């Protein structure tokens, strides 16, 4: 049968399909509705004339519970099932039999291409999350569908329509998008303590979600009052919103005049919500959030739930920020209190050390001068007072050292050290105390695989504090000190079988001033600083300190330090290494038999001006110095300056901390006046710490001695400073040929000409003796080797004087260099332990006016007295020369260079 063109595509006579009465059967609601449609008035004509393919396709659509639609013919006449009817909302049932392009006119721009492609090219499509604009609820709604379009074939095999299967995924798309926005807001909050910055960051995060938050404004309350202050906005002109308001006023803000567009279709935003920012249970809100509502979405339960979560995120961030700011304010208050405490301890050191000086020095002098001539009872009482005064001095020193560490003024200066030998030696100091207490004392310090780089003074404090603590709290059993290498760390363990420590006390055990209450001990003495110092000193090395303990069983303290590397060869002037390297004492050839300099009046070495605001200290110094000096006194810097200008003294001995013009001010005034510019100044001060000594020498002081001090040391320092001052004005020393060698000198090899190497072991060339200036030969250079003994210093002094004189150096500069070199040699003799060779080698050279003197020993320096940290000899690091100390496995080399290297 020929097809009837009037019936359109697919509407020709074919094999019979379902009867007209059966096409819409099956119990479908849409089936009953379609059965009532006057299909004869539609482009597809009466049901009786439909081709079998259309009838079968309609029955398939109606039977499916998945949303399906069928269009037939060029007019896109549509048929759909119950599930699809729910997707188009109010457009149903009028859409039945209508043109799809008219029913979905607002979304046809997105649907046209895949529909026409399916019908014209017979190509199926699948589009996930397709954005469609629908007006199914009375407004332009943002919706998302996952859609598949396929051609629908007629009885003749030609494409007669389009078959589509679709499902709405709007809820899933919105949920994912809103969840991502909440995450962005949470991340923007972070740990911010500034509320303004926090609000700005939150609004910046909200800017990434304009489809759900067209605009927003953050308002925060102040002092829990009702007023709210606008702190940040997004998506709206801030000037159109009130700067301050309350919650009711914020809710009454008209939205339409704000001129904000929203949603994917750019419709005007006409609604907003006010979200309270909760401050927590039982607390007033911390603010409010004004949020615009998308015009493309109804404010349904899911939208409101999103708003609640958003308000929770912002409120949590604000609460955290305020809590963090409060914590920081409390921390700053504590830090300020700590700084005030540090300042107090630093200042009170003057009040502590001056009385200590006036206690210890007279007692020590009385015991040393009277000796056994004192009655036994008086002698014992003085010794008791001296011991307890020294104990008080140690407590003050510990306290001030801890304060210095806390203030960041102390740094570890690492040198390569045989830590096993040092630890064994240090632990042995307390062996007698442990054995007197009836304890076994085991020291297990096998050699380490390589030297460890530590600060020797700090390591000494660590070991002695831990071992002393073990002796103090152990009554039976024993103590074990063990040193091991574990990987790249050196580990010190001090174990005891003492009383142990309750578990509740362990977390605070290394805190300063912490003491375990009611713990049995041999003595209740102590400040609670010992273990705190151990932790701090270990920390300065990049290490840790920890403890394991059980009451009644004992304790094990463990200190772990990295092996580390020695510090730079030349430490900065403020570091302990530099000062220690230059801590050299200018002794004369024969202490106690010094020749009086020419021109001294009477029996006095000279006139000393003593300046101190403490009357007892002035009286003590006057009594101490009077046998050898003519003493004048002043009670402050201004009086001293007047005295010095009226009658120039030979030396000024001044305190630092004084009312009015202090010691540094007096020093500056003396140096500024031509008549007193070269008067030597020695500072005698209660300010402790290496940084104080360096400050003094940088200011131009000649020597610096902290209180308490030994009277003999003060006298020796004053003599040395006076000799140095007068030596610069003395006549040129006699030529070396006029000198008769001493016994010590005749045993030393003099410089000899270089000789060719013979290849024999130990056959090293020695530089030629220095030629006289003007002979046109190479630059002067010499090497001397002296026994490591005090008797070597006088010949070294004479050799250097002659060498520098022959090299053409000026008298004053040569004097400084000789003094520096002799101090370096004295230190090498006194502090080089276990030398490979008991000699001190001195190399001197002069090149183009630059002098370099190197003093080398073959041992390892080990210090055991605090006097090594008092800055003696730091004057060598002033403008005329640079002094560096380089420790190593073959010994220590102190190098003096003049002038300082450029740069």
DSSP state of 641: H
Output the CA torsion 599→604→608→612 (10° steps): 180
Mean pLDDT of 770-792: 65
pLDDT class for 267, splitting at 50, 70, 90?
very high
CA 427/CA 244 separation, integer angstroms: 71
pLDDT band at residue 595 under the 50/70/90 scheme = very low
Give the pLDDT confidence score for residue 540 in this predicted structure.
87
For residue 235, the model assigns a pLDDT of 95
Question: For residue 611, what pLDDT band results from cuts at 50, 70 and 90?
Answer: very high
Summarize pLDDT for 716-741 with one digit per residue, the tens.
888 888 888 776 555 434 443 333 33
400-442 confidence digits (pLDDT tens)? 666 666 666 667 778 888 898 889 888 887 887 788 888 899 9
Confidence of residue 3 (pLDDT cuts 50, 70, 90): very low
What local confidence, expressed as pLDDT, does residue 653 receive?
93
Q: To the nearest whole percent, how much of the chain has pLDDT over 70?
A: 78
Inform me whether the pLDDT recorded for 102 exceeds 60.
yes
**The pLDDT of residue 739:** 37
pLDDT in tens, 135-182: 888 889 999 999 999 999 999 989 999 999 999 999 999 999 999 999
What is the bridge-based pairing of β-strands 703-706 and 681-685? parallel
pLDDT value for 263:
93
Written as six digits, the tokens of 10 are: 């697919």
Mean pLDDT over 272-280 rounds to 89
**Does the pLDDT of residue 683 top 90, yes or no?**
no
Whether the pLDDT of residue 291 is over 90: the answer is yes
Q: What is the pLDDT of residue 572?
A: 35
C-alpha torsion angle, residues 451, 454, 457, 458 (rounded to 10) = -140
- 583: confidence class by pLDDT, cuts 50, 70, 90: very low
Identify which of 509, 402, 420 has the alpha carbon closest to the alpha carbon of residue 463: 420
Do 47 and 74 touch, CB atoms closer than 8 A? Answer: no
What's the average model confidence in pLDDT over 278-303?
Answer: 89
Q: Between residues 80 and 899, which one has the greater pLDDT?
A: 80
pLDDT higher than threshold 60 for residue 845: yes
Q: What is the CA radius of gyration of the chain?
A: 48
pLDDT tens string 499-531: 888 888 788 778 766 667 656 665 555 566 778
Residues making up the chain, counted from first to last? 903
Region 263-285: mean pLDDT is 88
pLDDT at residue 731, as a whole number: 40
Report pLDDT digits (tens) over 849-868: 789 999 998 887 654 333 33
For 767, half-sphere exposure in the C-beta direction (CA atoms, 13 angstrom radius) is 17
| pLDDT number for residue 272 | 95
pLDDT single digits (tens) 346-373: 666 666 777 777 788 788 878 877 767 7
Q: Are 255 and 271 in contact (CB under 8 A)?
A: yes
Does 48 score more than 80 pLDDT? yes
Give the pLDDT band (50/70/90) at residue 292. Answer: very high
In whole angstroms, what is the distance from residue 173 CA to residue 812 CA? Answer: 90
Contact between 100 and 66 under an 8 Å Cβ cutoff? The reply is: no
The confidence score (pLDDT) of residue 687 equals 59
How far apart CA 665 and CA 669 sit, in angstroms, is: 6
| Least confident interval from 210-224, 463-477, 742-756 | 742-756
- Cα distance between residue 153 and residue 160, in whole Å: 5
Cβ(853)–Cβ(895) below 8 Å: yes
Kindly compute the dihedral angle of the four CA atoms of residues 643, 647, 651, 657, in this order, to the nearest 10 degrees. 10
Tens-digit pLDDT profile for residues 229-266: 999 999 999 999 999 999 899 999 999 999 999 999 99
* pLDDT range class, residue 631, cuts 50, 70, 90: very high
Helix H segments across 582-741? Answer: 615-625, 637-646, 663-672, 690-699, 711-727
- Mean predicted confidence (pLDDT) in 857-884: 52
Residue 206 above 90 pLDDT?
yes
Give the mean model confidence (pLDDT) for residues 459-469: 89
C-beta of residue 779 within 8 angstroms of C-beta of residue 847? yes
The torsion of the CA quartet 672, 673, 676, 679, rounded to 10 degrees, works out to 10
Question: What's the whole-number average pLDDT of the chain?
Answer: 79
Task: Give residue 525's pLDDT.
Answer: 57
| Coil/strand/helix, residue 608 | strand
pLDDT value at position 579? Answer: 31
Which residues is 443 bridged to in the sheet?
481
The share of the chain scoring above pLDDT 90, in percent, equals: 33
Produce one character per residue of 797-825: b if its CB has 16 or more CB atoms within 10 Å, e if not: bbbbbbbbbbbebebebbbbbbbbbbbbb
Picking from 513, 486, 576, 493, the residue whose alpha carbon sits closest to that of residue 540 is 576
Check residue 93 and give its pLDDT. 92
Give the tens place of pLDDT for each residue, 803-817. Answer: 888 888 887 778 778
Q: Which two tokens stand for residue 728?
A: 């610069």
CB-count burial class (<10 Å; 0-12, 13-18, 19+) for 589: middle
Query: Cα 35–36–40 angle (5° rounding)?
Result: 85
């Amino acid at each position: 049968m020929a097809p009837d063109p009037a019936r359109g595509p697919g509407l020709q006579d074919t094999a019979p399909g379902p009867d007209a009465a059966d096409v819409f059967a099956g119990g479908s609601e849409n089936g009953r509705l379609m059965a009532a449609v006057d299909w004869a008035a539609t482009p597809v004509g009466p049901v009786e004339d439909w081709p079998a393919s259309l009838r079968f396709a309609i029955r398939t659509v109606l039977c499916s519970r998945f949303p399906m639609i069928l269009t037939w013919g060029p007019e896109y006449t549509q048929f759909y099932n119950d599930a699809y009817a729910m997707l188009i909302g109010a457009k149903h049932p009028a859409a039945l039999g209508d043109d799809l392009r008219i029913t979905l006119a607002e979304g046809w721009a997105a649907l046209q291409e895949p529909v026409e492609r399916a019908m014209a090219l017979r190509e199926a499509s699948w589009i996930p999350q397709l954005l469609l604009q629908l007006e199914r609820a009375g407004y332009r709604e943002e919706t998302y569908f996952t859609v598949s379009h396929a051609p629908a074939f007629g009885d003749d095999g030609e494409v007669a329509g389009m078959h589509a299967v679709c499902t709405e995924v709007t809820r899933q798309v919105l949920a994912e998008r809103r969840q991502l926005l909440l995450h962005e807001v949470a991340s923007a909050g972070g740990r911010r303590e500034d509320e303004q910055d926090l609000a700005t960051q939150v609004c910046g995060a909200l800017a990434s979600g304009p489809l759900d938050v067209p605009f927003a404004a953050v308002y925060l309350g102040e002092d829990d009052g009702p007023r709210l202050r606008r702190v940040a906005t997004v998506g709206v002109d801030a000037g159109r919103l009130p700067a301050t308001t309350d919650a009711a006023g914020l809710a009454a803000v008209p939205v339409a005049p704000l001129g904000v567009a929203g949603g994917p279709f750019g419709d005007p935003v006409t609604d907003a919500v006010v979200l309270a920012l909760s401050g927590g249970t039982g607390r007033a809100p911390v603010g409010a959030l004004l949020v615009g509502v998308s015009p493309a979405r109804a404010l349904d339960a899911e939208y409101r739930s999103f708003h609640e979560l958003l308000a929770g995120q912002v409120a949590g961030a604000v609460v955290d920020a305020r809590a963090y700011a409060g914590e920081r304010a409390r921390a700053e208050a504590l830090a300020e209190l700590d700084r005030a405490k540090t300042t107090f301890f630093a200042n009170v050191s003057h009040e502590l050390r001056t009385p200590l000086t006036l206690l210890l020095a007279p007692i020590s002098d009385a015991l040393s001068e009277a000796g056994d001539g004192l009655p036994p009872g008086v002698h014992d009482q003085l010794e008791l007072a001296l011991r307890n005064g020294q104990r008080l001095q140690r407590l003050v020193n510990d306290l001030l050292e801890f304060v210095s560490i806390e203030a960041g003024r102390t740094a570890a200066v690492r040198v390569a050290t045989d830590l096993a030998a040092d630890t064994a030696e240090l632990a042995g100091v307390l062996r007698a105390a442990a054995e007197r207490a009836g304890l076994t004392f085991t020291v297990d310090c096998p050699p380490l695989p390589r030297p460890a780089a530590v600060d020797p003074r700090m390591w000494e404090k660590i070991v002695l504090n831990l071992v002393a603590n073990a002796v103090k709290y152990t009554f039976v059993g024993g103590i074990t000190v063990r040193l091991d290498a574990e990987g790249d760390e050196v580990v010190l363990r001090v174990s005891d079988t003492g009383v142990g420590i309750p578990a509740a006390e362990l977390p605070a055990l290394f805190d300063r001033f912490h003491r375990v209450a009611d713990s049995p001990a041999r003595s209740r003495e102590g400040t609670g600083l010992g273990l705190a110092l151990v932790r701090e000193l270990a920390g300065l090395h990049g290490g840790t300190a920890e403890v394991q303990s059980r009451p009644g069983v004992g304790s094990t303290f463990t200190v772990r330090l990295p092996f580390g590397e020695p510090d730079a060869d030349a430490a900065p002037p403020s570091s302990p290494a530099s000062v220690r390297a230059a801590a050299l004492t200018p002794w004369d050839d024969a202490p106690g038999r010094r020749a009086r300099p020419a021109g001294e009046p009477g029996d006095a070495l000279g006139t000393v001006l003593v300046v101190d605001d403490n009357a007892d200290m002035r009286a003590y110094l006057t009594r101490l110095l009077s046998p050898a000096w003519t003493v004048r006194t002043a009670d402050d810097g201004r009086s001293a300056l007047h005295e010095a200008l009226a009658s120039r003294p030979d030396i000024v001995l001044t305190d630092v901390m004084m009312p009015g013009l202090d010691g540094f001010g007096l020093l500056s005034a003396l140096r500024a006046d031509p008549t007193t510019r070269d008067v030597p100044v020695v500072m005698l001060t209660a300010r402790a710490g290496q940084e104080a000594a360096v400050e003094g020498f940088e200011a131009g002081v000649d020597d610096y001695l902290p209180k308490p001090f030994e009277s003999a040391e003060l006298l020796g320092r004053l003599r040395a400073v006076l000799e140095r001052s007068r030596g610069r004005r003395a006549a040129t020393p006699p030529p070396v040929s006029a000198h008769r060698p001493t016994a010590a000198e005749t045993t030393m090899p003099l410089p000899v000409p270089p000789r060719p190497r013979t290849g024999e072991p130990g056959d090293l060339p020695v530089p030629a003796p220095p030629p006289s200036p003007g002979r046109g030969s190479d630059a002067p250079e010499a090497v001397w080797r002296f026994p490591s003994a005090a008797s070597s210093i006088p010949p070294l002094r004479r050799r250097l004087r002659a060498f520098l004189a022959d090299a053409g150096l000026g008298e004053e500069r040569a004097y400084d260099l000789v003094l520096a070199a002799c101090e370096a040699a004295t230190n090498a003799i006194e502090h080089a332990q276990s030398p490979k060779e008991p000699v001190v080698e001195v190399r001197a050279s002069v090149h183009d006016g630059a002098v370099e003197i190197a003093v080398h020993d073959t041992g390892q320096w080990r210090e055991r007295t605090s006097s090594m940290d008092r800055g003696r000899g730091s004057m060598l690091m002033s403008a005329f020369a640079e002094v560096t100390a380089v420790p190593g496995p073959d010994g220590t080399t102190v190098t003096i260079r003049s002038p300082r290297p450029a740069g």
